[in-house]
Amino acid sequence: MKTYTVRQLREFLTVLYGGTHRPDGWYPHTATVARRRHVHPSSVRRWIRGELEDPAPIPQARLRLLLRGYEVATATRTRERHEQDRLEVIAQRQRLGRGRGNLEEYRRLGWLDAHSVLIIEDHNRPLRRITVTRASPTTVTRAIAGGHLVHTIREPDRFAAERTRHTILGTVEADRIQLPRTRLDRGHTQVWLAGAHLPT
């Protein structure tokens, strides 16, 4: 059964309906949430009341309704498992020195060049996304358009960068959501609530 902390619920509602950032974190616009979800504003205030890491005092049925359509889709998880399997096969070939033809093809595609893993946060909402790009100033600048850079991890090739991306997504699993393209045109399957702890 899916549960959210107060911090997660505040951030999730802010991502969807807007809000403001205060010294103790994000707060959604309760009037907007109430109008869009057809509840009284006092109900919304009650849902988000408490310490940040307390369980959010929202009924489970209501939380399920809120999350409907925003949980990571089965198709996304299936694709990610296939990506991880493929990365493991390539890693084995790299270790054993086999599949040089395949690796040469990847070299032509630029996959053996240095790549960066970028964690980017939206300017006006508590949403972070992850992307992998070539480690050049031009491609990095293009990738972070619409947000600000939180963290950069430089890897020797795209294979290592993709493995790092999957590791980070696993670490923030409890905070992952999936947005429709109408709410985020890039990386809509690779996002999470900004308060999640990153791996050290």
Q: pLDDT tens digits for 55-102?
A: 999 999 999 999 999 999 999 999 999 999 988 888 777 776 655 556
Q: Is residue 198 part of a domain?
A: no
Q: Is residue 190 very low, low, confident or very high in pLDDT (cuts 50, 70, 90)?
A: very high
Q: What are phi and psi of 144, to 5 degrees?
A: -90, 5
Q: Are residues 97 and 160 in the same domain?
A: yes
Q: Are residues 85 and 164 in the same domain?
A: yes
What was the pLDDT predicted at 119?
Answer: 96
Nearest to 11 by CA among 26, 32, 1: 26
Buried b (16+ CB within 10 A) or exposed e, 48-66: bebeeeeebebeeeebeeb
91/162 Cα distance (integer angstroms): 11
What was the pLDDT predicted at 89?
Answer: 83
Q: Are residues 85 and 55 in the same domain?
A: no
More confident residue, 33 or 198: 33
Q: Is residue 199 part of a domain?
A: no
Mean residue pLDDT across the chain = 91
Q: Is residue 1 very low, low, confident or very high in pLDDT (cuts 50, 70, 90)?
A: low
Range of the domain at 81: 74-193
Average pLDDT over residues 142-166: 93
